[in-house]
Amino acid sequence: MSSPQIVWLRRDLRLADQPAFHAAASAGPVIPVYVLDDATAGNRKLGGASRWWLHGSLAALARDLETHGSRLILRRGDSAAEIAKLAKETGADTVHALRHYEPWWRKAEEALARTIDLHLYDGNYLMPPGAVLGTSGNPLRIYTPFARALMRALHPSDPLPAPKLSGPKHWPGSDDLADWALLPSKPDWAGGMREAWEPGEGAAYDALAAFLDHADKYEAQRNLPSIEGSSRLSPRLHWGEISPRQVWHALEGKRGVGADTFRGEVIWRDFAQNLIAQFPDYPEESYREPFRAFPWRDPEQDKAAAADLAAWQQGRTGYPIVDAGMRQLWTTGWMHNRVRMIAASFLIKHLLIDWRLGERWFWDTLVDADYGNNAVNWQWVAGSGVDSSQFTRIMAPLTQSPKFDAAGYIREWVPELAELSDSEIHDPADLLRPRNYPAKLIGHQEARERALEAYRRIR
């Protein structure tokens, strides 16, 4: 009998179109393992919302494996050490895994490869980061030429089916998922997440099928937070419950601007990871050097800035569309994409608070918190990124809200304002503002002038 083959799982929690599973299954009995490794990630250990999703996704994968005559082994600790220990326990001499590009995972892969035969495969992106090059042969740093080059080079093969699995003669011991305490209990703040989401590979396929029904309307509806116009696939793709290749093939036959716009969003995910591969510390440092001297208001030193940051986090800024987004985020672990940009711009430019504090809040509260996407999007809004909007593009929440018909969205998430008319709800006059809804932290024009003055100081 062939020696057992370990499949090391991370953000690739699926059976279909999972090259590591296929390679392992063709070589011998398969031992799938997930290691909860907070130490290796350092200050990038999973946030609260991510831990909630991880619990559900692991539980779903464990059930799926059981239907295939297999089981999921859970361990906790340093990934490289735990995988090496498991190999000794089971007699496995090979580990199969999808390649990851976050800096801590790259270090873990290097450490593990020094102790055992580690086979790495690509499967989390349309093309491996670093594979899309410009005419000079260098990696691209701007989205539009990157997208064009990827489309020219992209020839995705058909997705792989779920493999036939066999198990070892003797299964190794496993942690109990409940003992990891990934779910909040005191207090249990995840009720809104349970209502909004069902993690797992099967649920990911259902979400994709639901999106395909209105993919042709994506371009027209994706910016309207009051309707279900987005795909809501971001956490599914982040956790690897579905692969980008599966999504891409599912879009075959879908023509028109809606499907093409969504393809562009899938490519943006590749683009973000491409930047992280080039600049591993991108979430920690402004790319454009002048922004490293930006005069941010420091919540640790300035009580007013601390109060403003807390108001933003709690959805109490006095700007209805910003508050609706921040409350949706806290309740469901997700925020509508257009509103993410508005809320991020508000923190950075209206409140003059460092984009990294916003990125960290999103890291803890998003179920799709992604090292690449999160940082690239925040630096794009701040104007500090390698490819970004200009800092002087200051989104006006009071204009954006009616422009994108956010009245229904505000009524859902800011119920204090639910009785106001569509013409009043975006910017309630003082006489109409309910007592339990706060006044604006700062007026838009005052905030704009303050932000532009701060920007002039670093130019």
424 and 312 part of one domain: yes
pLDDT at 99 > cutoff 70 = yes
Instruction: Clarify whether residues 238 and 298 are in a common domain.
Output: no
Residue from 212, 288, 273 nearest 238 by CA? 273
Enumerate the β-bridge partners of residue 32. 7
pLDDT computed for residue 459 by the predictor:
83
Residues 294 and 411 in one domain: yes
Whole-number Å distance between alpha carbons of 264 and 309: 33
- Confidence band (pLDDT; 50, 70, 90) for 255? confident
Q: Are 76 and 33 in contact (CB under 8 A)?
A: no
Asked if residue 190 belongs to a domain, the reply is: no
Q: Which domain holds residue 13?
A: 1-123
Residue whose C-alpha is closest to residue 119's, from 25, 198, 185: 25
Q: Please tell me whether the overall predicted TM-score, pTM, comes out greater than 0.85 for this model.
A: yes
Q: pLDDT tens across 175-199, in order?
A: 999 999 999 999 999 999 999 999 9
- pLDDT at residue 330 in the model: 98
DSSP 13: -
118 and 136 together in one domain: no
Query: Average pLDDT of 214-220?
Result: 94
Residues 255 and 130 in one domain: yes
At 43, the pLDDT band (50, 70, 90 cuts) reads: very high
pLDDT band with cut points at 50, 70 and 90 for residue 1: low
Dihedral (Cα; 311, 377, 286, 281), 10-degree rounding: 110
* Tens-place pLDDT, residues 133-179: 998 999 999 999 999 999 999 988 999 999 999 999 999 999 999 99
Question: Does residue 26 sit in the same domain as residue 142?
Answer: no
Question: Do 294 and 429 belong to one domain?
Answer: yes
CATH number at residue 6: 3.40.50.620
| pLDDT per residue as tens digits for the range 409-456 | 999 999 999 999 999 999 999 999 999 999 999 999 999 999 999 999
| pLDDT value of position 156 | 87
| Number of residues that make up the chain | 459
The answer to whether the beta carbons of residues 293 and 326 sit under 8 Å apart is no
> Helical H runs in 333-443?
337-345, 355-365, 371-382, 397-403, 407-413
Whether residue 168 contacts residue 4, with contact meaning beta carbons closer than 8 Å, is answered with yes
CA angle (266 as vertex; 374, 96 as ends), nearest 5? 80
CATH of the domain at 450: 1.10.579.10
432 and 310 fall within a common domain: yes
Question: Domains in the chain: how many in total?
Answer: 3
What is the Cα–Cα distance from 357 to 347, expressed in whole angstroms?
Answer: 9
Beta strands 94-98; 5-9: pairing state: parallel
